[in-house]
Structure 1
Amino acid sequence: MKNVFIFTVIGLLFLSCKPEEKRTDYIINGDASGVYNGVRAYLKEKDRTGRERIVDTAVVVNEKFTFTGKVDIPKPSVISINSVNGNLNFMLENSVIDISIDKANISQSQVSGSASQTDFDAYNQGYAKLKKESVDLQNELRNIHRQLSSGSSEQLQSKKDSLTDLFTAIRQKEQDYPLNFTRTNTDSYYSLVIIEREINKKNANIKDYQEAFNNLNSELQSSAAGLYIKANLTTLMVAFEAKSRVDIGKIAPNFEAPTPEGKTVSLNDIKGKVTIIDFWAAWCGPCRRENPNVVNIYNKYHSQGLEIIGVSLDGTRSQKDPKQAWVNAIEQDKLSWTQVSNLSYFLDPVAQLYNIQAIPAVFILDAEGKIAAKNLRGNALEAKVKELLAL
């Protein structure tokens, strides 16, 4: 009897130590207090463009509804209910998920039972806190501005400066918040969601998000979403590096290209105290209209150290004789500075080196060959040349 008892205890201990199997399906238990019988609830998923697609429909019975199914990986999803305003955004994963619907404000409904939902909530709560601090500071600043408009004081001005610094700092925290979340939550599927969302925003720092992705655990990186994001990051990184190569403050990359006479000339050959790289073409109307201004600037400041190199993107299929069109435009517009072109349209290697997507495009270099400004025209271009020449 004693032996039976011992084996029973050992068996129970063995079973209790056995790891819980990973669930392969989800059950959503919805508690919809105040919602009438027969009202439909909808489970939707969001595609990568943010558009919603109905995945399943349930009918509310006795203020309850249920959804069941499977997902490959945790993903952002939406629940909406007829007669209830708004949507509930949440993270759907293979688990038992309990949702208590707030009929008055469905976005504030309580969701539990999903690890990725916990991260989703933590992210949104942290961001909301930063947003509130930002709004509160902005309101304080507006109040001080109103007081200063009716009479300045040293104390008010000092408080305004202090609040401005705090406001700037909190706005920077807001901007950095998504990236910092992914850096500190390397096991979270919601970090994948954030990375995918942020890298598709304008001016996203692709390099930082590439590093954040590389720091995620191997399961996340090798998931279907992870592999998609990895491929997307690789493509975006190429474009990011091309763009950042010619950012303001960087040394302008050297290049070589042929003149109309066939002589190869490099950027380094013609650099002056100030150098303008002017991407243009005979077929480009805005370029041609800006040329008289560039001619005027060159004639005024060339003797004081200004140099220009024009890079033509002639070579379109519509041009019967691209080189002749290029040469004719040089003569007609009286462009007396160095001109080069591979006559390869936007496939010109110099255009690709400088990430040229449209023309006219202008780069202004200082005496060290650093890019000091880009895409200035008219009076703004002349003012920058004068500034760099210290005139």
Structure 2
Amino acid sequence: MQVKMKIALLALLPAALSFHQGANAQSKAFRVRGTVPDILNGHMIYLLRESGKKRIPSVVDSALVTKGTFVINGTTDAPFTATLSAPLRPAGAPAIPGYRKLFINTGDQVVLEQPKVLQARNTLEGARIKGSDYTRQLDELTAYLLPAETGMDSMRKAYSENLRQHGRDTTGSYQYNRKFEEMMVLKASLQQSFLQQHPDYYISLYMFRDLLGGRVKDTDAAATAFAKMRPALQKSALGKEVQELITNSAKFGIDKTAPDFAAQTPEGKTLKLSDLRGRYVLLDFWASWCGPCRAENPNVLKAYQRFKDKNFDVLGVSLDREGDRQKWVDAIAKDGLTWHHVSDLKFWGSDIAKQYMITSIPQNFLLDPQGKIIAVNLRGEALQVALDKLLK
């Protein structure tokens, strides 16, 4: 569903990542200070910076709340998403979480005002923020996407309750998934609308980068959307990263020649992609540990069995780990994957995966006999439909 959302957005438009670093940028000090209810006196308040692809939070600084006030200091060379955390731990009672999302820029002097605890579930619910333009933009985006987020949250809860009451009800699960996808489409539409309304917002560029993923499928649409953003944003460190991503992704567009590579087969022989020239080839990235990949394998197998005698072949590239060679080989045998296979057993550090900008699996490329890319990420019956047209 995430892939569908990204594709839908890019078609209409034409958690970005907090690890973006400013090229040659200098770190500048920022400060977050605030007033909170006296009930938080004597409790710690933390500023958590979200970093890495998984946005794992790390503590930037902390402060003891004294007389209803706190001050937190830090430095940064680029804007980043953060959470101000103020948990309340009453004696003999369960802890009450407290959190407020922030988007901090270099040099920000952030002021938080929280006169009283408004919600028992969050001590910082409704806290007002001053001195942070990017946080204001983030709040606008959050409010704009609220209808879709609320709908998705409702579907998650309904699905969990249905699962609790009826177990793995296939019909019920399908209905909830369909409704959830409807909410994802709504979210994509809202994101598109927000981007069009605010091409001058940094949060728009941030969201756009997030939606592009590890490799851009429709580079023309992405370039068109990026060109509509304010020049200052395009020239920013994040903007340069987006431009580089679009440029590099264009190398894997339709009618582009797939880059050649060589790797070891399970038998220890070297096989090059170019060795399969002259045939239609599905270049399939997968791994034995990847559940969605294993679930997709029967679809690839059906296509292979139908078209292997009609100038069609498959080359599987596994992202299995070093030391897991036997798991890779066993998965090939168990799933009946009787086509070509290679792997350097480097997991996400795979040289081939990096070359093809692979950041999630399963992914595939359909190549013509000249080695040119003619389709990307064909799933389910889509692969057989495409081959039916090509190999009549």
Greater helix share, 1 or 2?
A: 1
If the length of structure 2 is used for normalisation, what is the TM-score?
0.49
Larger Rg: 1
